[in-house]
Chain A
Amino acid sequence: MIPDDAVERLMESALLIGAECEKANIQQWEIYANQGYGHSMEIEAGRISMASGGGEGGFGIRVVENGRYGYAHLVDTSSSKRAIEQALSIANRSPSIEGFELPGNQSASNVGGMKDKAILDMTPEDLLEQGDQVLTRVSELDSRAVAVGGGIGVGAGAGAIVTSNGIEYGGVYTSHGIGIHVSIDEDEQLTSSYEGESSRKLLSDVTSSVDKAVHWSQITREKIPGGETEDCPVLMTSDGFSPLFSVVVPSAVKGERLARGESFWSGKMNQMVIADHLSLTDDGLMEGGMSSGSRDDEGVPCRTQKIVESGRLTGELWSTRDAAKSVAEGKVDSAESTGSASRGGHTSPPLCGCNDLILSSSAKSHDRDRLIEEMDNGYIVHSVMGAHTANPTSGDFSVTTSTILRVEGGTVIGAISQAGLSGNMAKALNGRVVLGDSSKRKGSYSTGSMHVPDVLLMDGLRINPA
């Protein structure tokens, strides 16, 4: 899937661009290069509808002159001279940030599990066979169920960073992912569920997502009338909670946003911000972590950064430039990179973001059945619609769910067709919270990878049945 010498080729090209920067007498420069390859197949209306493959990549050039920075990107080295000129021209127009320099070379730990040879060896035919397994599994589980959409993909990427400050780093990573949307449409009632998972290793069983999708499509068919609007406990499964959490929390823990007053936790450093048994850790060194690695996307060694410890806000995330800028502007007394720079690819300069963000509890965790008993009366929400409309500044959200079960006396009594779910993430996490016992990663988002278990939120949420 990927040439054996992919990293070497990228490194060679990056060094060529770096040499052009040297010729232009640029004080500090950074060349980021990436190249991705992959195969995928799509499922539509209960069949495999398409198979595809390909690759893409390019280069990003960051230059720094007297604390001023400029960036440009390109797809091949032939236009590097022009791109360097563009980046330099922008740097000259940018404000100077006192103390801002590109990171120096520091030793970094090796993080395992980033690459799986089994994925590199996958052929398009192998992928299509996995598609067959998925479709077969759907019909085996429920003859009424149809895989209306979804797909499976494998990818391999090579990345490299070369800088004037001595960083020369490259690596290969792999991924394998499945998403499956199952629906059951019978007796004029349609229920459905979308499930997915991804991993740096070959997924051992692509059909486990199918099992969940069919299960939720089945258990939401037993409809009961929606009740009155009420403020009540809500058990959010990790699948339902993760999208909301990913919109609100990663944004709130960025150092720059905290310093600019743009976070609901601004001004609360060293104060209690969530329930005293909860902690929040951003792990950049997680073995096999989808957003982990030896170094971040500007070459700084990744680390495990504690953000909230036993309910108290103790840390924040910084990229090199954000840290220097906030200090220079007097918004904070001191700050330095936490190895939290990330990019969406070569077209983006490094920006501050989460790696593998983990919500954990020191209190006893429970399995889902025990959480339902604990809740006594309330709702279970497995997916939400409109998570992206949550407000990351205030933490407020008002979303809709069609995968919702009513619980009375600690027992699930049926599903309601649709309901609004609203509240404030910061306030809900600061109330009575019980975590489930599975902290399996749920979702990779543009904001990082979220590791959240089932979460029982006893306070601050409102359910508004349709």
Chain B
Amino acid sequence: MVVTSRQAESHFSNGRILDEDKITKALDMATSLGADYAEIRLVSETTNTASLKDGKLERAIPGQEVGVTMRILADGAWGVHSTSDVESIVQQVDSTFRLAKAVAARRSPSQTIVELAEVPIIEDEIHWKSQKDIRETDLDKRIEMMLAIDNEAKDDDKIVSTATGWSDEHIHTELMTSEGMNRIWSFQRSLINGMVTARDGDDVVSYRMRHGGEGGLELIEACDLGEMGRNAKISALRLLTAERAPSGRMPLVADRDLTGVYIHEALGHPCEADLVAAGDSCLEGRLGETIGSEICTVIDDPTIRGGYGCYPIDDEGVDPRPKNLIVNGVLTEYLNHRETAHRFDLQPNGGARAQDGLHHPLVRMSNTIIQGGNHRDLDELIEDIDFGIYACGSRGGQVDTGRGSFQFAAQEAWIIENGSLSRPVKDVSVSGMTLQILKDVDGLTKDSRLAAPGFCGKGQTVPVGDGGPIMRIREALVG
């Protein structure tokens, strides 16, 4: 193993919360009991959420939460203890070690033992400083930003209600391990969102919008919030007149929001090596295989600053790097953490993330994006489609990684007829099989970038970014 040490990039820290001496003794105790590895990770979050309904403050909640999780690996099995009582964690070494031993005792000889890939052992601090520290933003400013959306979103008799929301967090993490890793890092995330509800008689629809990422107030200030509100209003009113979407197989063109959700669900999740190891991924054993169209190159990159899914260090203390999941249609890399990197004899790529200090790290995506292609714009993508769907904005999605089937839903959509957008439709969802639909991607515009921020659930919820260019799929199951 290589031991490195470097200086903090900037001083943005609140100081150490864990008592180094006590934690070192606890980790030493774990190894003296016979543990192969032990770690203690603390996360302290300073949060602020706020919301308006119809332009009036509904709630504002400041919070300060802390959680700490100890993982002990003994005889090739994990024992874990999590608590919000930071001081008590050092008293849990023995019981957590015994948990790990009890799990190990149940393993049959044919079952794989847990081992960890070697990684650089680092002692350092990394603090990503926001241009405008979100902790210094007062409630009046938050309200002013939400009103900027609200004021533009409600200006129509058919808009019956508006709701806007705010969420920011300063995340401070400390990790110490029995291998000597001792890292501290911090960064911030900021998010603003809204929902517009429109009604015409018995017809009622809603449209949601969201903007944010890694960073402070500067992220929100950079967004034209008034335009966001106006666009949401226009979309909601348009949905009131939209007809139900047709069902069946047809060409699909997706905007970058939906392209992002598609690649997150259809490819990203099956690429998570813990699911591959569990026998729950359709991509098991397919590294090096062509699984998609040659125009498809997909990366997952936690280092894209500003992306909602980025982080300075992963939750096992590994420096993150971009992962090339698919290059020109060929599956080249799984997302992994130390356990799965060892299991599949891969280089660790820093894909371990935990929801907070009370959860253990899993293999997770960060910012997942399809690279751009050769098409100039939307018009060029749809010009040779006789009948199809152009779908925009995400309502979320889901995947069955084992079967390789997925589903995602659009906020709004248009019928494409004879190479042009014709009438709006609603309730568009798209489903398909990962191993088929990746091959059916036959057009991508040149410009690729992250779309609206999102959240990913896998037992734990983490913020993610995803996006890409506008994408055309030759044939997809719609409705």
* A142: min CB distance to chain B, Å: 15
- CB atoms of B60 and A94 under 8 A apart: yes
A86–B139 Cα gap in the complex (Å)? Answer: 11
Contact A349 B59 (CB under 8 A): yes
Does A439 sit within 8 A of B, measured CB to CB? no
Given known pairs A185-B279, A261-B197, the reply for A72 and B62 (CB within 8 Å) is yes
Residues in A neighbouring B433, C-beta threshold 8 A: 418, 466
B397 touches A386 (CB 8 A): yes
Complex Cα spacing A294 to B206, Å: 36
- Which residue of chain A is the closest to B239 with respect to CB atoms? A394
B223 within 8 A of A: no
A144 contacts which chain B residues (CB < 8 A)? none
Q: Does B16 contact A (CB under 8 A)?
A: no
Say which residue of A47, A128, A148, A422 sits within 8 Å of B479 (CB atoms). A422
The secondary-structure label for the interface of chain B is: strand
* B409 to chain A: closest residue by CB: A389
Q: Closest residue of chain B to A131, judged by CB?
A: B106
A105 at the binding interface (Cβ < 8 Å): no
Question: A56 contacts which of B64, B82, B100, B409 (Cβ < 8 Å)?
Answer: B82
Q: A86-B62, A386-B397 are in contact. Are A50 and B279 (CB under 8 A)?
A: no
**How distant is the Cα of A464 from the Cα of B106 in the complex, in angstroms?**
45
Q: Which of A372-423 contact B (CB under 8 A)?
A: 385-386, 388-389, 391, 393-394, 396-400, 402, 418, 420, 422
Cβ B358 vs Cβ A73 within 8 A: no
Smallest Cβ-Cβ distance to B78: which chain A residue: A50
Chain B interface size range: 35 or more
B450 to chain A, nearest CB (A): 21
Nearest CB in chain B: distance from A247 CB, A: 11
A55's closest neighbor in chain B, by CB?
A: B83
B141 to chain A, nearest CB (A): 12
Nearest-CB distance from B478 to chain A (Å)?
8
Distance from B253 Cβ to chain A, minimum over Cβ atoms (Å): 18
Given contacts A90-B139, A400-B429, contact A51 B99 (CB under 8 A): yes
If A51-B100, A148-B278, A466-B431 touch, does A389 touch B397 (CB 8 Å cutoff)? yes
B19-27, B123-131, B375-383, B398-406: which lies at the interface:
B398-406
B29 interface hit (Cβ, 8 Å) = no
Out of B62, B82, B247, B432, which one reaches A464, CB within 8 Å?
Answer: B247
Residue of B nearest to A256 (CB): B53
Shortest CB-to-CB span from B205 to chain A, Å, is 6
Contacting residues, chain A, for B154 (C-beta < 8 A): none
Q: Looking across the interface, which residue of chain B has its beta carbon closest to that of A192?
A: B402
Q: Which of B140, B160, B431 interacts with A260 by CB under 8 Å?
A: B160
Q: Is the Cβ of B83 less than 8 Å from the Cβ of A462?
A: no
Bound Cα distance from A69 to B59, whole angstroms: 8
- Contact B84 A52, beta carbon cutoff 8 Å: no
Is B107 an interface residue when CB atoms closer than 8 A count as contact?
yes
Instruction: From known contacts A400-B431, A402-B403, A464-B248, infer whether A386 and B398 are also in contact, taking CB-CB under 8 Å.
Output: yes
A65 at the binding interface (Cβ < 8 Å): no
Given contacts A386-B429, A398-B428, A400-B431, contact A192 B400 (CB under 8 A): yes
User: Are B83 and A385 touching (Cβ within 8 A)?
Assistant: no
Give the CA-CA distance A396 to B277 in the complex, in Å.
37
The B262-283 residues at the A interface (CB cut-off 8 A) are: 274, 277-280, 282
Quick check: B111 and A47 within 8 Å, CB to CB?
yes
Kindly list chain B residues whose C-beta atoms are within 8 Å of the C-beta of A442.
none
Q: Does A53 contact B (CB under 8 A)?
A: yes
Residues in A whose Cβ lies below 8 Å from that of B407: 385-386, 389, 399-400
Task: State A72–B403 Cα separation when bound (angstroms).
Answer: 44
Write the nearest CB–CB distance from B397 to chain A, whole angstroms.
Answer: 6
Tell me if A173 counts as interface (CB < 8 A to partner B).
no
Residue in B77, B203, B278, B405 whose beta carbon sits within 8 Å of that of A385 in the complex: B405
- Say yes or no: B84 contacts A55, CB within 8 Å: yes
Contacts of A181 in B (CB 8 A): 280
Closest Cβ of chain B to A304, distance in Å, is 29
Q: Is the CB of A389 within 8 A of B139?
A: no
- Is A287 in contact with chain B by the CB < 8 A criterion? no
Residue of A72, A94, A146, A418 contacting most chain B CB atoms (<10 Å)? A418
Which residues of B are found within 8 Å of A262, using beta-carbon distances?
A: 160-161, 197, 204, 206
Query: Is B61 in contact with A72, judged by CB distance below 8 angstroms?
Result: yes
Whether A44 pairs with B63 at a CB distance below 8 angstroms is: no
Contact across chains for A44 and B247 when beta carbons are under 8 A apart: no
Instruction: Flag whether B460 is at the interface (Cβ < 8 A).
Output: no
| A74 part of interface (Cβ distance < 8 Å) | yes
Bound state CA distance, A94 and B78, in angstroms?
48
Is the CB–CB distance between A266 and B102 below 8 Å? no
Residue on B nearest A79 in the bound complex, by CB: B64
Report the bound CA distance from A466 to B403 in whole Å: 14
User: A216 CB to closest chain B CB, in angstroms?
Assistant: 13
Partner of A75, one of B64, B111, B408: B64
Contact A466 B206 (CB under 8 A): no
- CB neighbours (8 Å) of A93 from chain B are 57, 60, 139-140, 143
Determine if B95 is an interface residue (Cβ-Cβ < 8 Å).
Answer: yes
- Contact (Cβ within 8 A) B277 A47: no
Query: Complex: how many Å from CA A431 to CA B186?
Result: 55
B36-70 contact mask (Cβ, 8 Å, vs A): 1 or 0: 00000000000000000110110111111111010
Contact with A along B87-115 (1 / 0, CB 8 A): 00000000110011011001110010010
Please give me the 6 A-B residue pairs with the lowest Cβ-Cβ distance, nearest first. Answer: A52-B80, A261-B160, A389-B409, A398-B429, A400-B407, A54-B82
Given contacts A50-B78, A50-B80, A148-B402, 20 further A-B contacts (CB under 8 A): A50-B79, A54-B69, A72-B61, A74-B63, A83-B62, A128-B102, A260-B54, A260-B160, A386-B396, A386-B408, A389-B397, A389-B398, A393-B204, A394-B204, A398-B427, A400-B429, A418-B433, A418-B477, A422-B479, A466-B433
13 CB-based A-B contacts, threshold 8 Å: A51-B100, A54-B82, A70-B60, A71-B61, A75-B84, A93-B60, A148-B280, A149-B278, A260-B54, A347-B63, A349-B59, A394-B206, A420-B431
